[in-house]
Amino acid sequence: MSKIAAEAGRRATTRVKGVRARGVSLHTALIAGVLLSLFPFYLAVVLATRSTNEIFSYPPKLLPGGHFGENVSHLLDNIDFFGSMLNSLIVAASVTVLVLFFDSLAAFVFAKFEFPGRRLLFGGLMLIFMLPAQLSAIPQFVIMAKLGWIGTMTALIVPAAANAFGIFWMRQYMKGAIHGELLDAAKLDGCGFLRTYWHVALPVVRPGLAFLGIFTFMGQWNDYAWPMIALVDPDNLTLQVALSQLSGVHAQTDYGMVMTGALLALIPLLIVFVVGARHFIADLGKGAIR
């Protein structure tokens, strides 16, 4: 019996050591992945604190320098940074709110209601989803010009108020998240379509809305091609278009100034991601508990 107990003890010890070794290996790999993911952000901080000559020096300098204040001063002297940031914030926030409303409303109809031509309409939506966005640039410009919106932020907000990806994403999410019993209960309580959508559907799909909101805000904040085409008024430039002008303000591009602008432009994105991801994860946890 003592030999059997000793053998069982050795096996248990071996299993524990194996589990610990796998845990250490997994955490080591995760930490390495996190460090690799954070390195570009760290490098952006380093470059934003260096002069152009220091950026191109060899060996490369991997520690922050002392030119951040100087780079910020040059940045503010060459472009209206905070004005452009405000324009980008207005556009991105407006588009995000509109997309969340219109896309979730359309997705609710596609996911939970039967009506003639539903499959045909959704197929057409998927066709639009697969087409490159660049194909619509010329007709979209012509339409905006006829409406007199070229040069204004309206030309950026209205065309982006709904998109095929958002409808597809929310429709797929709603199909699994909203059960028919909830809709039947809402009907018994006398809820109409809009009341059912607002008080029954939206609370259930908050994680999907959080993801779509983060995705939409980041996409609008980083958009460059269409704002470059549509915005001809220097007072209405978005931040990405304004930053693109930094490469031509001197005979030799001041890359320290450019990297400082790019680094400061990341701050609103990081705030939106942190706040949105927190709600996204919290809502997923609540849904799992339910």
Decide if pLDDT at 251 tops 60: no
Residue range 28-40: mean pLDDT, rounded: 90
In this predicted structure, what is the pLDDT of residue 2?
62
User: Percentage of the chain surpassing pLDDT 90?
Assistant: 38
Give residue 141's pLDDT: 92
Nearest of 157, 169, 277 to residue 227 by alpha carbon: 157
Could you count the other beta carbons within 10 Å of the beta carbon of residue 74?
A: 20
What pLDDT was estimated at residue 12? 62
pLDDT at residue 87 is higher than 60:
yes
Residue 182 has pLDDT above 90, yes or no: no
pLDDT tens-place string over residues 97-116: 999 999 999 999 999 998 89
For the segment 61-65, the average pLDDT, to the nearest whole number, is 83
